[in-house]
Amino acid sequence: MTTLTVPAAQVRHTTRVPSRPTGFLTDTWTVLLRELTPKLRQPASMLFAMMQPLVFLGLFAPLLPDVENGSALQWFVPGIVVMTALMGASMTGADLTAEIRSGSHERLLVSPLSRPSLLVGRALKEVVPVLFQTAVILAVVTPFSFDLHLGGVLVGAVIVSLFAIGLGALSFALATAAKEQDWVFWTVQQMLIFPLLLLSGVLLPLDGAPGWLRFLSDINPMTYVVEAERALFSGEFPADVVTGGFVAAAVVAALGVLVGVRTMERSS
Amino acid sequence: MTNHTHQRPVIRTEALTRHFTRSKKTVEAVRGLDLEIQQGELVAFLGPNGAGKSTTLRMLTTLIPPTSGTAEVAGHDVVRSRAAVRRSIGYVGQGNAAAFVQRGRDELMSQARAHGIPRAAAKARIDELLAAFDLQEYADRPVQTLSGGQRRRLDIAIGLLNHPDVLFLDEPSTGLDPQNRANLQEQIRRLHQDGTTIVLTTHYLEEADALAGRVIVIDHGVVIADDTATRLKERLGDLVLLGFATEADATTAAARAESALTGPTLIDRTGTQVSIRTPRGADSAPAMAIDLAAHGTPAIRMEVHAPTLDDVFLDLTGRSLRESAESTTQTEGAAA
């Protein structure tokens, strides 16, 4: 057989560089870099993803009514940014399903990478495009009736990232629990994503909503994130609203990582 | 390779046990495993699907914690020092180590980062592994475009990146065609010659037989045999089948063989056929045939079969490994 004439496997030739303990941040960076590498190698796919929120904005923004104070875009854009984060981060787990099936996830579980870093690194992979998308959206809308307040946008970006890490981790947990059944993941993801979106007041204000709807909106952490983003993107820093957004995002992040790590420990 | 013969074993387990609870039913997948594996050994866990081989491997590689008992790998406890165990081992699972959307070289680099190996050293190591497994040509292509055999070589390269003290392979040749399987076995043999301690699971008898210096037969979660393949087979002995003209001849011959042969011998007569299971039966068969002819009951047909590991398994469990492997697969298929 010809295949037996492979070169001798001299695999212990180089000086042995031993495996060394790594910290959480290094591990998270390793995971993030690994996740981003295939995307960086195919910039076209990234470009397409960048365009998506613009399409949404272009088709939806013309329908917005004029509001009394400030432009409709000023109200609408921060919501679109949070929506983009929700859509992106909630799909974190979809890639995981493929990796669980192929076996590469198992290899990472046996590697020295810490469990939380696997979660956070993967969730951050969804944050990076969200931040780029935000930049693209802002670059497009600023020439129109939108005032750019860079300081507020940067603080807003931190809150959205935190929120996305939490969502990404929860999505990861969902994919782990769903194992190799794609449909379970997608059914649950779709079932949760739209109530979260509608109840947060991204698309329509909930001011005139009936009491029960207002209540559901009040217990939706995304509502607070959206409100904080709206204030920050207008260059305002109302302490209660910004803190509310921060706390809501931090709670989602903490919950996500906690649930994610527990699910991972149980599943393997 | 070291010359210390009295060093600590690379793997040591004591009463290692794992239960699974599925729909309120407890399954004892591994029951009180006591095991010692020395540096440089090439060990195969052999058994049918569901015997507990993979569960054992998953405990040793920290993928699942034991229900009770202890295990040490490369001097580290698999529960208390999981991180240290993970840094010391290489693992090639049943699936592929590299994600399909990634490139082989990128996955090798991420593995190096996971082990905290500095970039320059990692690059040198990666080039070395790509050369050793004849993968240079494919390293910069997406993994999904590689063939099954190329992917398997990449899996092993990833598993070896950190110069592991022990390389674990879970059913390494499943899904490979015979040519790639032979190729893989050749690679494993070379790694063993280089001094790597290797533990693999398999339900292919031929694989365990061809590869492993030591075969640990596992069934229903316990070790039922642990020795070299050669010794396991020798102990069982060859099977000599003799055909006679009449049943009377066969009965007489069976009695004669019983008194003539020494050692652990098993004689059975069915109709005109006598089957004799005896150590080194191939050597004693010609003399036996002459002796029987001289006493008026000549054999008219003779077959001699060297024992296979399947015979060993059959002898130990009363079941054929092939049959039980097939039936388990069928049950799993029905359940899914």
Which of A:143-162 have CB within 8 Å of B? none
Q: Is B96 on the interface with A (CB under 8 A)?
A: yes
Give the nearest partner residue to A11 out of B115, B132, B182, using CB atoms: B132
- B23 and B145 fall within a common domain: yes
| Residue A146 covered by a domain | yes
What's the 3-state SS for chain A?
CHHHCCCCCCCCCCCCCCCCCCCHHHHHHHHHHHHHHHHHCCHHHHHHHHHHHHHHHHHHHHHCCCCCCCCHHHHHHHHHHHHHHHHHHHCHHHHHHHHHHHCHHHHHHHCCCCHHHHHHHHHHHHHHHHHHHHHHHHHHHCCCCCCCCHHHHHHHHHHHHHHHHHHHHHHHHHHHHHCCCHHHHHHHHHHHHHHHHHHCCCCCCCCCCCHHHHHHHHCCHHHHHHHHHHHHHCCCCCHHHHHHHHHHHHHHHHHHHHHHHHHHHHHC
- B124 and B154 fall within a common domain: yes
| Residue A31 covered by a domain | no
| Residue B324 covered by a domain | no
Last residue of a domain, one of B187, B216, B233: B233
- B251 and B170 fall within a common domain: no
Which of A:72-111 have CB within 8 Å of B? 98-99, 101-104, 106-111
Looking at residue B328, its pLDDT comes to: 45
Which candidate, B104, B261, B259, A266, places its Cα nearest to that of A258?
Answer: A266
- Report residue B329's pLDDT band, with 50, 70 and 90 as the boundaries: very low
Residues of chain A neighbouring B114 (CB-CB closer than 8 A): 22, 27, 30, 108, 111-113
Which CATH number covers residue B186?
3.40.50.300
| Residue B319 covered by a domain | no
Which of A:41-70 have CB within 8 Å of B? 41
Instruction: State how many domains chain A has.
Output: 1
> For chains A and B, what is the number of CB pairs under 8 angstroms?
154
Share of chain B above pLDDT 90, in %: 51
Give the nearest partner residue to A104 out of B96, B162, B194, using CB atoms: B96
End-to-end CA gap in chain B: 46
Arithmetic mean of pLDDT over chain A: 84
Give whole-number Cα distances, A100 to A197, A262, B19, B63, in Å. 29, 17, 23, 13
Q: Is B174 on the interface with A (CB under 8 A)?
A: no
Q: Is B187 exposed, middle or buried (0-12, 13-18, 19+ CB in 10 A)?
A: buried
Q: What whole-number distance in Å separates Cα of residue A258 and Cα of residue A165?
A: 12
B134·A7 Cβ contact <8 A = yes
| Residue A25 covered by a domain | no
| Residue B318 covered by a domain | no
Looking at residue A5, its pLDDT comes to: 41
Six-digit token string for A80: 């679109």
Looking at residue A68, its pLDDT comes to: 59
- B26 and B140 fall within a common domain: yes
B128·A10 Cβ contact <8 A = yes
B86·A112 Cβ contact <8 A = yes
A17·B98 Cβ contact <8 A = no
Residues of chain B neighbouring A8 (CB-CB closer than 8 A): 132, 190
| Residue B170 covered by a domain | yes
Instruction: State how many domains chain B has.
Output: 2
Q: Which residue has the tokens 């290797």?
A: B198
B62·A110 Cβ contact <8 A = yes
Chain A residue nearest residue B187, CA to CA: A9
Q: What whole-number distance in Å separates Cα of residue B69 and Cα of residue B59?
A: 11
Chain B residue nearest residue A3, CA to CA: B183
- B187 and B102 fall within a common domain: yes
Q: What whole-number distance in Å separates Cα of residue B285 and Cα of residue B147?
A: 48
Structural domain boundaries enclosing A244: 45-58+69-267
Looking at residue A177, its pLDDT comes to: 87
A30·B114 Cβ contact <8 A = yes
Q: Is A6 on the interface with B (CB under 8 A)?
A: yes
Structural domain boundaries enclosing B268: 238-306
pLDDT in tens, A202-234: 877 777 888 888 888 888 999 999 999 999 988
Residues of chain A neighbouring B111 (CB-CB closer than 8 A): 107, 111
- B270 and B218 fall within a common domain: no
Looking at residue A34, its pLDDT comes to: 95
Give the nearest partner residue to B191 out of A4, A9, A114, using CB atoms: A9
Residues of chain A neighbouring B151 (CB-CB closer than 8 A): none
pLDDT in tens, A123-145: 888 888 888 888 888 888 888 77
A107·B102 Cβ contact <8 A = no
- Side-chain-side CA neighbours of A222 within 13 Å: the count stands at 28
Query: Which of the residues B2, B109, B115, B199 would you substitute to probe the A interface, choosing the one with the greatest number of A C-beta atoms within 10 Å?
Result: B115
- B117 and B20 fall within a common domain: yes
Give the nearest partner residue to A111 out of B114, B180, B194, using CB atoms: B114
- Taken in order B97, B100, B103, B107, the sign of the CA dihedral is negative
Last residue of a domain, one of B233, B261, B278: B233
Residue B90's CB: how many other CB atoms inside 10 A? 28
Give the nearest partner residue to B163 out of A12, A41, A108, using CB atoms: A12
For the whole prediction, is pTM greater than 0.90? no
- Alpha-carbon distance A110 to nearest alpha carbon in chain B (angstroms): 6
- Alpha-carbon distance A152 to nearest alpha carbon in chain B (angstroms): 36
| Residue B151 covered by a domain | yes
Which candidate, B268, B231, B266, places its Cα nearest to that of B250?
Answer: B268
Share of chain A above pLDDT 90, in %: 29
What residues pair up with B18 in beta bridges, in sequence order? B30
Residues of chain A neighbouring B127 (CB-CB closer than 8 A): none
| Residue B3 covered by a domain | no
Pair B89, B74: CB distance under 8 Å: yes
| Residue A23 covered by a domain | no
Looking at residue A143, its pLDDT comes to: 83
pLDDT in tens, A47-86: 877 787 888 788 877 777 766 556 778 888 888 889 988 9
Which candidate, A129, A121, A107, A162, places its Cα nearest to that of A34?
Answer: A121
| Residue A211 covered by a domain | yes
A28 alpha-carbon distance from chain centroid = 15
B216 alpha-carbon distance from chain centroid = 7
Which CATH number covers residue B248?
3.30.70.2470
Which candidate, A229, A232, A54, places its Cα nearest to that of A151?
Answer: A232
- What is the number of residues in chain B? 336
- B183 and B284 fall within a common domain: no
- B180 and B244 fall within a common domain: no
Six-digit token string for B50: 């569901």
- Report residue A200's pLDDT band, with 50, 70 and 90 as the boundaries: confident
| ipTM rounded to 2 decimals | 0.82
Which of B:18-77 have CB within 8 Å of A? 58, 61-64
| Residue A17 covered by a domain | no
Q: Which amino acid is at A100?
A: I
- Alpha-carbon distance B35 to nearest alpha carbon in chain A (angstroms): 21
- B213 and B110 fall within a common domain: yes
- Alpha-carbon distance B121 to nearest alpha carbon in chain A (angstroms): 7
| Residue B202 covered by a domain | yes
Give whole-number Cα distances, B88 to A57, A110, B115, B149, B277, in Å. 52, 11, 10, 26, 45
Long-range contacts of A143-146 (CB under 8 A, 24+ apart): A144/A71, A144/A73, A145/A71, A145/A72, A145/A73, A145/A74, A146/A71, A146/A73, A146/A74, A146/A77
pLDDT in tens, B210-263: 888 899 989 889 998 899 888 888 888 889 999 999 999 999 988 888 887 777
- B89 and B124 fall within a common domain: yes
- B23 and B106 fall within a common domain: yes
- Report residue B72's pLDDT band, with 50, 70 and 90 as the boundaries: very high
| Residue A5 covered by a domain | no
Query: Which of the residues A45, A101, A102 would you substitute to probe the B interface, choosing the one with the greatest number of B C-beta atoms within 10 Å?
Result: A102
